[in-house]
Amino acid sequence: HEREHDREISELAAKHSEEMEKLRAELQEEQRHLLDELQQQMAAIHRAEHEQAQLQSQTLHSLELEALRLTLNNMHTSQLELTQSNLRKEKETALMELREMLNDKRAQEVAILQSRHQLEWEKIKEQCLKEKEDL
């Protein structure tokens, strides 16, 4: 009876060991499956985060380029305005110089004409006096 009891205990222990091994194997398989699934999810999350970071980087880059374009446009506009202002001042200066030169030339011509007029007047006056004397 005792031997039979020992044999049953041995069988139960062996059965128990087999079931434990089977459960361990199933548990390891489930763990591997869960680990694979987790790795896939992590990879998907990593790809999504990478894409989002890339999109944000592209958006930031686009915004920086737009800001640079606007800054360059503003600088160009300012430069054009400054150039126009300088050209306007140069034109005004040139016009003033030309006006002064023309006024000087006119004054010289007026002086020359006045002296000619004076000489002719004196000639006519002398002629008149000569004609009076002759008469």
How many whole angstroms separate alpha carbon 52 and alpha carbon 44? Answer: 12
pLDDT, tens digit, 9 for 90 and up, residues 23-76: 999 999 999 999 999 999 999 999 999 999 999 999 999 999 999 999 999 999
Indicate the domain borders of the chain: 1-95
Q: What pLDDT sits at residue 126?
A: 96
Cα–Cα distances in Å, from 78 out to 66, 82, 83, 92? Answer: 18, 6, 8, 21
**pTM across the whole model:** 0.46
Q: What pLDDT sits at residue 129?
A: 95
Q: Which two tokens stand for residue 127?
A: 């002629």
How many whole angstroms separate alpha carbon 61 and alpha carbon 54? Answer: 10
How many whole angstroms separate alpha carbon 79 and alpha carbon 87? Answer: 12
pLDDT, tens digit, 9 for 90 and up, residues 97-135: 999 999 999 999 999 999 999 999 999 999 999 999 988
- What residue type is assigned to position 123 of the chain? K
How many whole angstroms separate alpha carbon 95 and alpha carbon 89? Answer: 10
Q: Please choose, from the candidates 5, 96, 100, the residue with its C-alpha nearest in 3D space to the C-alpha of residue 88.
A: 96
Question: Rounded to the nearest 5°, which phi and psi values hold at 81?
Answer: -65, -40
